[in-house]
Amino acid sequence: GAGVSQSPSNKVTEKGKDVELRCDPISGHTALYWYRQSLGQGLEFLIYFQGNSAPDKSGLPSDRFSAERTGGSVSTLTIQRTQQEDSAVYLCASSTLNTGELFFGEGSRLTVL
């Protein structure tokens, strides 16, 4: 497909388990963002990758959260020892350097029981 692809679309897990969320950006997009959106809330910035530069991790809420981007393409957001407050929709977006427009995936809805 031509858009940003995220998987899984829904994930239910038990408190304390680790989860991995995947984002496949638009081909050729050098920038990749992860945002978190709690129910009825705005977009909380988590992490930003741009090309080969060191990622901006300033939005990660705790050391249980980490993300990597392999080969400048696919990214994985990992949440260790999940807590109930981690329940949210995790949105990934990508963009090019030439435009500020972000192209979003449909998100991964995480529910921690």
CB of 69 to other proteins, least distance (A): 15
| Nearest distance, CB of residue 11 and other proteins, angstroms | 15
CB 60 within 8 A of CB 81: no
Separation of alpha carbons 92 and 104, rounded Å? 6
- Binding piece for other proteins, criterion CB under 8 A, among 16-24, 66-74, 78-86, 101-109: 101-109
- Given the rule CB under 8 A, which of 22-30, 48-56, 63-71, 72-80 is the region that contacts other proteins? 48-56
**Count of positions on this chain that bind other proteins (CB under 8 A):** 22
Are 60 and 66 contacting, i.e. CB atoms less than 8 angstroms apart?
Answer: yes
Rule CB under 8 A: is residue 88 a binding residue for other proteins?
no
CB of 81 to other proteins, least distance (A): 27
Q: What's the rounded Cα separation, in Å, for the pair 67 and 90? A: 12
**What is the distance of C-alpha 97 from the center of its chain?**
19
Alpha-carbon distance values, 42 to 25, 35, 37, 38, 68 (Å): 22, 10, 6, 7, 24
Contact set with other proteins (CB under 8 A): 4, 33, 35, 40-43, 45, 48, 50, 56, 91, 93, 95, 100-107
